[in-house]
Structure 1
Amino acid sequence: MGGTGNGMAAWVPLAIFGAVMLWRFRNLEKARPLRLPLLWIMPLIVTAVVCFALSAMMPTPPGWASLAAGFVVGGGIGMQRSRLMRLHVEGEGGDARVMVRQSPLALLLIVGVVMVRKLVLPGGMAIGSGHPAATAMLVTDAMLGFALGVVLVSRLVLWQRARAMVAAHVTDS
């Protein structure tokens, strides 16, 4: 009786993700200011959320390994995503500011990550031959580490690139 409701519920996050990606692709060519003093806010929020989640249920040693592996993979993807973004400096002297444009490849990278995740975990989190709850916790820990890695490393790389560009006043589109 409740089978169709569960099927629809699985598609809602994908529909929201698709709508957000379409909106982001619409604004690809629009450069926006990269506010360097504010780049630390999102990493702080994500770190607080991950710490709160971990404090609610402390990971086991395999959970910590899963978290670390997720962080490494997420960090690699975050680094690559930030390297794909196009930065340039507008203005001169004290009026100079770094502008950022989203790269189509950077957005496709995020779409690819979501698709791979959907392929790897097609039936939800109960994967493998182990206990479904333990497997779900390992996957949750890995996803927390992944999100943390993407955000922290992405913002760090953007900050480093922008700071170097302002110092040298160069463009690297």
Structure 2
Amino acid sequence: MGGGGSGAWLPLLIFAGVMAWRFRSLEKARLLRLPLLWIAPAIVTAAVSVALYGMPPSLLGWAALAAGLAIGGGIGMQRSRLMRLHVEGEGDEARVMMRQSPLALLLLLAVFAARRMILPGGMTVGAGHPAANAQIMTDAMLGFVLGMVLVSRLILWQRARAMVAAHITDS
């Protein structure tokens, strides 16, 4: 085996393991803790901010970041709309429960597959330097992850709050 090619399979194997674990617990409802939904967006925002501070994007990098943010936000919105939510209990005892949707997981698989197809040969943007092209792709991916996490959590929070307020039993 070649030296550089074997390391490229490690992220794929990790992702496959995580997805197998998620598919295994597909029908199990888990508590959606509304007061804690802000934590993942805060962590991702901080990490992206540190990355951008450490290596400020060029003008094209900012455009790639904005495009990634928009695309990630759209996918995050769609993924959150595919989640199955329901309310258990009455009044102050009401709890929002969430089950993973098979379509939401398939959406993540499709995004991962598309990223794997684009990145290996798609590192050339015009006739630019490979390092600059890698930085632009990194900026786009940072925006993508930020948009997906922010919008996904926002939509989940909005849906859950509306369900508790109206005491809808299934969505």
TM-score tier after normalising by the smaller chain length: over 0.9
Counterpart AA for 1:164: A
Match of 1:29 in 2: 27
Match of 2:128 in 1: 130
User: Which of 6, 11, 14 is the matching residue for 2:12?
Assistant: 14
User: Which of 53, 56, 62 is the matching residue for 1:55?
Assistant: 53
Task: Return the offset for 1:28.
Answer: 0.3
Task: Return the offset for 1:126.
Answer: 4.7
C-alpha separation in 2, matches of 1:107 and 1:28: 9
C-alpha separation in 2, matches of 1:134 and 1:151: 26
**Contact 2:64 2:137 (C-alpha < 8 Å) held by counterparts:** yes
C-alpha separation in 2, matches of 1:124 and 1:61: 20
1:1-51 CA-partner distances (Å, limit 9, x unpaired): xx6231110000000000000000000000000000000000000000000
User: Which of 2, 5, 21 is the matching residue for 2:3?
Assistant: 5
Counterpart AA for 1:97: R
Task: Return the offset for 1:171.
Answer: 2.8
C-alpha separation in 1, matches of 2:54 and 2:122: 22
1:1-173 → structure 2 map (5 Å cutoff): 4-123=2-121, 125-126=123-124, 128-173=126-171
**Contact 1:76 1:150 (C-alpha < 8 Å) held by counterparts:** yes
Percent identity, aligned pairs only, is 71
**Contact 2:87 2:96 (C-alpha < 8 Å) held by counterparts:** yes
Counterpart AA for 2:48: V
TM-score normalized with structure 2 length: 0.96
TM-score normalized with structure 1 length: 0.95
C-alpha separation in 1, matches of 2:28 and 2:122: 37
- Number of corresponding residues: 171
- Superposed CA RMSD in Å reads 1.3
1:114-157 CA-partner distances (Å, limit 9, x unpaired): 00111112347456532111111110000000000000000000
**Contact 1:29 1:102 (C-alpha < 8 Å) held by counterparts:** yes
Gaps of 5+ in 1: none
C-alpha separation in 1, matches of 2:148 and 2:88: 27
